[in-house]
Amino acid sequence: MSYIDGFLIPVPTAKKAAFIAHACEIDPVFLEHGARRVVECWGEDLPRGTTTDFHRAVDARHDETIAFSWIEWPDKATRDAMHAKADDLARTDPRVSREHNPLPFDGKRMIFGGFEPIVAAGDYRRGAWVQGFVLPAHDRDGYRRMAAEAWPLFAEYGALQLVETWQDDVPEGKQTDFFRSVKTEPGEQVVFSWMLWPTREVCDAAAEKMQSDERMKMPEGGMPFDPRRMIHAGFLPVVELGG
């Protein structure tokens, strides 16, 4: 089964070009060490939430935009092998060295972690509109069933792909992390997920129609997550590498 490294990154809006250039320099290294795909997405529709949102997740400043990114690995072992080489690569490969390829963002506020896919439906398409989600869930099996059962409806409305991943190797941070991003409570785990649409317009039209679709009803026994603390936003890919 594949394995996902997920990232939320606060980037100065004025440094978008620098962010893309940095990613184009460093991301091929992941492919060279076994990654299947690397996708970097730029925030285009970042709504403010009442309790949580992407801005607060990374302590974003008024002049920053959030990037939503992921690396797809064939398995956790390949990913861990790459991580084990990180320090050596930083010394020997200028693409990885922060001296030669400095970060165009505040790495101390970047959120990252490893996740296991529990639902993967549809196909990846380059240039698609990306809906990114992070949420706190307390019932893995219940969440997986709910997401899998909802996919045919999303596909009917035009969605291209749905990937739901469950917390596995997610570190706690000093300032920001995935747990703080959705204010997890005891017994909850973090879900990192995305849904692809042909365009933003198709996505927005689907969201409006689904509000009145009786099939979008609450599952028996209630929701396996707290939607009030879910964060979501719309993104456009700016770097897409791999198959």
Domains in the chain (CATH in brackets) are: 3-242 (3.30.70.100)
Contact 113, 79 (CB under 8 A): no
d(CA 19, CA 44): 15
pLDDT 10s digit of each residue in the chain, 243 long?
A: 799 999 999 999 999 999 999 999 999 999 999 999 999 999 999 999 999 999 999 999 999 999 999 999 999 999 999 999 999 999 999 999 999 999 999 999 999 999 999 999 999 999 999 999 999 999 999 999 999 999 999 999 999 999 999 999 999 999 999 999 999 999 999 999 999 999 999 999 999 988 887 777 766 667 899 999 999 999 999 999 998
Place of tokens 């045919």: 152
**Residue 134, C-beta contacts closer than 8 angstroms, at least 6 positions apart:** 8, 57, 178, 181, 182, 190, 191, 192, 193, 230, 231
* Residue for token pair 């076994």: 34
Nearest to 55 by CA among 111, 129, 4: 111
Predicted TM-score (pTM) of the model is 0.95
